[in-house]
A and B are shown apart, each in its own frame.
Chain A
Amino acid sequence: MESPFPKSSSAPGEGRVVAKLQPEGGSALEALAYQYPLKLISPSRPAHSTKSVLVFLLSYGGGLVGGDSVSLAVDMRPGARLSMVTQGHTKVFAPATATPNLVTRQTMRAHLAPAAALCLLPDPVQPFAASVYEQTQVFRLAPDASLCLLDWVTQGRSARGEDWSFARWTGRNEVWAVTENYHRLLVRDAVILDGAQPSPPHIMPTLRESMHAMGVVGTLILRGPLVKALADFFLAEFAALPRLGSRDFRTDADARRDAAAESVSDLEKWRRTRLLTERSTRLLWSAANVRGCVVVKFGAPTVEAGRLWVGAMLAREGSVARVFGDHALMCVR
């Protein structure tokens, strides 16, 4: 699909998205500009019916080559709603052998005006063996702005035997509360995955060992009135997790049969099924309220287990589909 907006003449890898609220209701793009290797596509027709305007975050050739630098600025006018997704994993290729330490960078700076809402639910980043990647995402939220952010990274091309085989991956997400009077950091979530030779050798485990058989790890950050119900849902489900170490002498099959026979609420039935899946896929997660944001961390041995879980949680609670529309969820289905 072709973008109706002209490309800008900014620097390579730079892009800009401006979303606004239309006078007749519904969100639309005020501007969309990008430069190779970044590519932005918005298939949304400005219409009342779309709950949020959708933008695909893409790159030419389906991935970032060593040394690529992508820098995206997102501006959201008051009340605008924007969803950003990807088409498949963001692949990070290794730099050329002549320049082994060349860093591939992806930066996003988003400003959300009052009552604006941004939903960023992309596919995970898939760093290939020997790649070097740095991702920085900074979100500045005016009062009553809302953010739903998913950031996840995989072990690489597991089909090719890659298992956390990249040279380095760092991801940093910052959420700031911003008014005319103050800029206040609320959350700075940073993950450093360093594939360098461990030090001290033979004592410090390698990156692969320290990942403990996880194939994907991720973070979901939620803030603001439009995702408050979703944030509370994660906290409530975390609080409702069965106590680890308590004994259930039933087999999984018996537990399923009991669950079916018992008269329990829909939510309880759904939860029991989900917990069995969490257990069988060995998905671990936790949720915490950090300075007015809810931060959810999860890890699973396979990407699909992670995707299934995130998708099930978001779909069950329903806020994302309600606020941003179903298209916001396309990467986690």
Chain B
Amino acid sequence: MDSQPTADGSNDEIVGEIADLERRLAAAKAKLARPTTIDSTANPPAARVAAGKSPPPPIPNTSSSATHFLLLLADSALPLGSFAFSSGLESYLAHSKAFLAPLPRNSNSSNGSFAAFLPVSVSSYASTTLPFVLAAHRDASSFAFVSGSSPRLARLAALDDALDAAIVCTVGRRASVAQGRALLSIWERSFVGTAPAAGAAEALKPFVALLKSSSSSSSSSSSLGTDLPPPVSAHLAPLFGAICQLVGLSLEQTAYVFMLGHIKALVSAAVRAGMFGPYQAQKTLAGGTVQGLIAAMIEREWDTPVEMAGQRVPVMDLWFGRHEVLYSRIFNS
């Protein structure tokens, strides 16, 4: 794997971050491997020490626990349901066939059109959602577990609400909310008990309560004559930022995993849409293009306030929105 993407001076920091992440990944894998060795030799740790072997690995500290959660959140098996969404790829393919002039760089092969779609999709996804991930992570850090989590709740709910107002496409809203709710379920049912940070267990409870109350009261509020939207919808981006913070991921790691998750879902959708096979998929994921894209997107959106987030690829809104009018669909978006 090429871990040294071509870097100009401005990318050094992120390239360093990537290298650091990979080092930690390797370290974590090594740690995971060690207990297996112990098990296979069936030696209790005391016996190993007595036998003059190296001491057992230390009890997981916060940073190794964070690495553990990093691996879980980056895992394709994380049940977010991402496989159901193609983020406009399916619609793009249908429109390319039916309507659009080929891209200037587009070759005739299907791989060519994926190569053209990937950067615009990543750019569009980053410009519309990444500021919300970053803001939620930063907010969560700044309200570190004060008793009575109302400021935390208010900020997370406000981010969720602002994103709900900014996704102006039915299909995009459906995809974002479905994955956000899935992530919230994973948090509640699976992560919450083992999250390392003190107070983490309580952190999202008010949000969940607000979500439940708003989905049950949505009918009653409309009967009052107001057509105001529910207070929270549970979009993926802000919840991803908040939950990554709660399990100890750094801001950089959070942004990286978020963008990588989008790309992995796209590549996986391309495989299932028959654009290329699994080896080409892994080659794409491992390649310098993907690494360079993620680094550039994180750098571009690092300081973007959520109020200034916006669509950089207008035609993406059209592909996304017009997924509804496809004759045959294998994806939900």
Contacts and interface: CB of A to CB of B under 8 A. Distances in A.
A192 interface: yes
Contacts of A182: 228
Contact of A211 (B161, B227, B299, B315): B315
Contact of A290 (B120, B168, B312, B320): B168
Interface string A31-54: 000000000000000000000000
Interface in A181-235: 182, 184-194, 199-200, 203-205, 209-214, 217, 219
A200 B290 CA distance: 10
B296 A292 contact: no
B168 A297 contact: yes
B311 A191 contact: yes
Most buried by B among A188, A238, A292, A295: A188
A205 B105 contact: yes
B170 interface: yes
Interface stretch (A63-71, A241-249, A259-267): A241-249
A299 interface: yes
A288 interface: yes
A199 B229 contact: no
B313 A172 contact: no
Interface in B208-258: 226-229
Interface string B306-328: 01111111110110111011111
A185 B162 contact: yes
A286 B94 contact: no
A163 to B, nearest CB: 11
A244 B94 contact: yes
Nearest to B168: A295
A188 B307 contact: yes
Contacts of B326: 243-245
A245 B318 contact: no
A244 B328 CA distance: 8
Contacts of B164: 291
Interface residues of B, number: 55
B235 to A, nearest CB: 13
Nearest to A242: B325
Interface in B150-170: 161-162, 164-170
B228 A213 contact: no
B161 A185 contact: yes
Contacts of A177: 228
B272 interface: no
A203 B292 contact: yes
Contacts of A274: none
Nearest to A290: B168
B181 interface: no
Interface in A288-329: 288-292, 295, 297-299
Contacts of A194: 312
B197 interface: no
Contacts of A188: 162, 165-166, 307
Contacts of B101: 212-213
Contacts of B318: 284-286, 297-299
B300 interface: yes
A89 B64 CA distance: 59
Contact of A284 (B99, B120, B228, B312): B99
Contacts of B173: 288, 290
Given A170-B310, A205-B119, A289-B170, A200 B293 contact: yes
Given A188-B166, A212-B315, A243-B326, A204 B228 contact: no
A168 to B, nearest CB: 11
A282 B318 CA distance: 12
Contacts of A292: 227-229
Nearest to B5: A200
Interface string B165-184: 11111100100000000000
23 contacts: A143-B226, A187-B166, A188-B162, A191-B312, A203-B119, A204-B123, A212-B103, A213-B101, A217-B314, A241-B322, A242-B325, A244-B98, A282-B99, A282-B100, A288-B168, A288-B173, A290-B165, A290-B167, A291-B164, A295-B168, A298-B318, A299-B315, A299-B318
